[in-house]
Amino acid sequence: MEHNDILVIGIGGAGGRLVDALAARAPEAVRTAMIDTDAAALAASQAVSKLQIGSHVTNGQGTGGDAGLARRAATDDAEIIRGLFSDARLVVVLAGLGGGTGSAVTPEVIKAAGLSGTPTLCVATQPFSFEGAPRAALARAAVPEIREAADGLILIPNDKLFKSVGSDKVNEAFPAADAALGMSVWSLWQILTRPGYLNAGPADLAQVTKPERGIASLAWAEAHGRKRGASAVKQLLTHPMLDGGAALGECRSIMVSIVGGEDLTLKDLGDIMAPIKAACHERVVITLGTSIDPEWKARLLLTLIAARPGGWSGGVEMRPAKAQEPTDLPITENPAVVGRGGVQTTLQLEPAGRGRFANTDPTLLDGEDLDIPTYQRRGIKL
């Protein structure tokens, strides 16, 4: 997918910081936007388009954790939000759940994108447990709504993020966690935009993160040196984000992305994949993507995205899915490491029924694509 096809939207203060983190690492990410009620936060943002919503309900201030206020801001300015998606082929929504804007506006933005026919992938952080019950409740309320509307959802609990950075001093932990989050978003960006020899693209990502699969989490590890493959995978399999790797056996689908230099060898791939395969259920589909970036010479970045049906600890607890036995998994013929999973995905990148307008920007009005024949949209039988 081209850089221009992907619209990255940060919502609220935390979402805005994630967009900034991406912008710093991937200057080619040119379609970035930030939505907030807080004029000062918007002014400081690096995003290309800045949308201030609800200026008359909040007077340009933040929402102070008031989800009702934030939702009113979103519905008041729904028209402006809808205008954002005009020609994007994928919307990536970055947000921090727990705050007013992040929790209440995120579902609205994703719903609006859904109405305009643009697939969405949401990456959201969840509040610290020490931030208290009200914020946790806000976040918990937002998750089902997002799951309903988004095509893919990856949740990152802040508690575990901090565990993974391995420092408990405030002045070290916060910057380190910000950097870790930035890397997470950047590694996703790599998967979405960078073609590789083994290609895992947006469609595969949608397959792994789609809500029916459970709650997806993301972990990454960076390693260098001669045994970097083995070292990276070891870090990953003990990663707090993946509950120490033990839960990988329950996961229904897993995506592994490797970014390495021109010196990346097949042996490295073997070193990485063998332990991961061993940790997973034997019949689960693992999607592998690799890309080569000269800047990663003698280093590699390993990212693992896995959806756990019951949710991950420290995040949102899910009802155990009905089919918890891994034997019920939809398994393809060859469960070995595959490139593109041959399954139809939910990410519909080319909406049907546009005919001669298939390659033009959709003509959107109130979330309807007017290029699609009226009789089709109105369900008129011919």
Partner 1 sequence: MPASPVIVALELGTAKVIALVGEMREDQHVMITGMGEHPSQGISKGQVVDIEAAGDAVRAALAAAEETAQVTIRQVVLAISGGHVRSDINRGVVPVRDKGEITRADMNAVMDVAKAVNLPTDREILHTICQHYCIDGQQRVVLPEGMEGARLELDMLVIHGLRSPMRNAIKAVEDIDIAVQDVVYAGLGSALSVLTPEQKKGGALVIDLGAGTSEYVAYAGGVIASAGALGVGGDHVTNDIALAFSIPERQAERCKCEHGGALLSLDGSDGKVAVAPGVGFGGRTLSRQVLLTVMHARMHETFSMIKQRLEADKVPVHLAAGVVLVGGGAHMEEIAELAADVFDLPCVVGKPREVSGLATATEGPEYAACTGLIQYACRRWQSKRPKPLGSLFRNLLKR
| Residues near partner 1, by CB under 8 A | 353-357, 360, 363, 365, 370-371, 373-376, 378, 380, 382
| Beta carbon of residue 368, minimum distance to partner 1 (angstroms, whole number) | 9
Which CB, 295 or 350, lies closer to partner 1? 350
| Beta carbon of residue 51, minimum distance to partner 1 (angstroms, whole number) | 9
- b/e sequence 298-328, b meaning 16+ C-beta within 10 Å: ebbbbbbbbbbbebbebbbebeebeeeebee
Which CB, 319 or 356, lies closer to partner 1? 356
| Beta carbon of residue 357, minimum distance to partner 1 (angstroms, whole number) | 6
User: Is residue 126 within 8 Å of 153, Cβ to Cβ?
Assistant: no
**CA quadruple 122, 46, 290, 163: dihedral, nearest 10:** -70
Nearest to 161 by CA among 222, 218, 106: 218
| Token reading at 308 | 């756990």
Instruction: Give the Cα-Cα-Cα angle 123, 120, 174 (nearest 5 degrees).
Output: 15
**Which SS3 state, helix, strand or coil, does residue 36 take?**
strand
| Token reading at 296 | 């990663």
| Token reading at 145 | 């709504």
Which CB, 17 or 354, lies closer to partner 1? 354
By the 10 Å C-beta count (0-12 exposed, 13-18 middle, 19+ buried), 235 is classed as middle
Dihedral sign of CA atoms 360, 361, 363, 368 in order: positive
Which CB, 169 or 378, lies closer to partner 1? 378
Contacts made by residues 320-327, CB under 8 angstroms, sequence distance 24+: 321/214, 324/250, 326/249, 326/250, 326/252, 326/281, 326/283, 326/284, 327/283
Which CB, 133 or 352, lies closer to partner 1? 352
φ and ψ at 277, to 5 degrees? Answer: -60, -35
| Beta carbon of residue 53, minimum distance to partner 1 (angstroms, whole number) | 13
Rounded CA separation 180/165 (Å): 7
Strand partners, 224: 299
Scan for tokens 């004029």, then name that residue: 39
| Beta carbon of residue 260, minimum distance to partner 1 (angstroms, whole number) | 40
| Beta carbon of residue 250, minimum distance to partner 1 (angstroms, whole number) | 45
Which CB, 344 or 374, lies closer to partner 1? 374
| Beta carbon of residue 21, minimum distance to partner 1 (angstroms, whole number) | 25
| Beta carbon of residue 83, minimum distance to partner 1 (angstroms, whole number) | 9
Rounded CA separation 370/368 (Å): 6
Which CB, 68 or 373, lies closer to partner 1? 373
Which CB, 4 or 376, lies closer to partner 1? 376
| Beta carbon of residue 111, minimum distance to partner 1 (angstroms, whole number) | 21
Which CB, 109 or 272, lies closer to partner 1? 109
